[in-house]
Amino acid sequence: MVRKFISIVLMLSVMAFLLGFIYMNLPQEPIEMILDTVVPERTINITYGDTPVFMENLRFNHNNISYFIEEDCSEVRRYSMIEAFVIFKNETGLISFYEIKNKSNADVSVGCSDDYIELSDNLFIAGEGGPSRIINTSAFKMIEKGKISLYHDPRCDYPIVGLHELLHVFGFDHSKNPKSIMYNTSKCNQRISKDMIDLIDKLYSIEPLADAVIENLTVIKKGRYLDFNITVSNDGLIKIDSINLTIFAEEREFHVIELGELDIGYSRALRVTNNKLPSKSVENIKFVLDANDNIRELNEENNFMQMTISS
């Protein structure tokens, strides 16, 4: 009786082991991959006039900036604004400007109106300006579009108003220094200050590169199968045309997933289930991002993530 009981227990143990082995090693449901695109947050139509909304590391992703000037601008306003572009270029040494005829493609659009806003006796808003569309990433806040409005013809030989509003486009707030061109009321002797030039030099000396980042990685191992969720973002200043996610098990490559292009500020959310590992004993998994054209990045230390896992 005892022998029979022991035999039954042993048989059941063997069957349980075999069933477990079969479950862990034979194919389960086919591998499933779901890839979603996450659109970046954009700040649209920032209100101008009172206190502009500015952010750290706010910049265009290129140094040669296009502009468009509306036909309703008088000749004197038009040439004063062009002079402001020239002075900005000469003062910074890093930024240049060129005019285009297509408003929708312009980095900075300049419009004019005679309906200026009077604040009090002999005090009025001569113009308004600032970024009109910004892409938020963790590294930079990238200006996509800027807008300037000029409300009357200039009263100074030096283009005070045009420069003031152009500097708002580049992210500068009002200054408390009456001699600064960013003082909240205009005087003909105001000029661009050295600290502003230094900041432009600092921001625009950084080469505009992409920056692929692994975010929000969760991994579950089920015997010889791997489930994971991962988010990949481009926190850089230029688009990534094509990027792959390569998965390594114990330092050996076993799966490459094409993620496609990744525009500035965009993310790819990927969910994978039943990804079969090379063996059940795998414990070290590494996820690596690789741009197909091997582009350089702002930070190449955030392109991989390694995890130790167990069933």
For 183-198, the pLDDT digits (tens) are 988 889 999 998 888 8
Mean per-residue pLDDT of the chain = 82
The pairing of strands 141-150 and 58-59 is: parallel
Better-predicted residue by pLDDT, 7 or 82: 82
Distance (Å, rounded) from C-alpha 189 to C-alpha 184? 14
pTM, entire model: 0.78
Domains and CATH numbers, the chain: 25-39+209-308 (2.60.40.10), 55-204 (3.40.390.10)
Torsions phi, psi for 3 (to 5 deg)? -60, -40
Nearest-5° angle of CA 284, CA 285, CA 287? 150
pLDDT exceeds 90 at position 304: no
Q: In the predicted model, what is the mean pLDDT of residues 251-280?
A: 90
Better-predicted residue by pLDDT, 161 or 28: 161
What per-residue confidence (pLDDT) applies to 223?
83
**High-pLDDT (> 70) share of the chain, %:** 77
From 2-16, 232-246, 256-270, the region with the lowest mean pLDDT: 2-16
Helix (H, G, I), strand (E, B) or coil at 76: helix
pLDDT digits (tens, 9 = 90+) for 46-100: 443 333 337 778 899 999 999 999 998 999 999 999 999 999 999 999 999 999 9
Torsions phi, psi for 137 (to 5 deg)? -125, 170
Beta pairing partners, 275: 226
Beta pairing partners, 210: 297
Helix (H, G, I), strand (E, B) or coil at 41: coil
What per-residue confidence (pLDDT) applies to 121?
47
**Which of 150, 177, 185, 175 has its CA nearest to residue 77?**
150
pLDDT digits (tens, 9 = 90+) for 196-214: 888 888 889 999 999 999 9
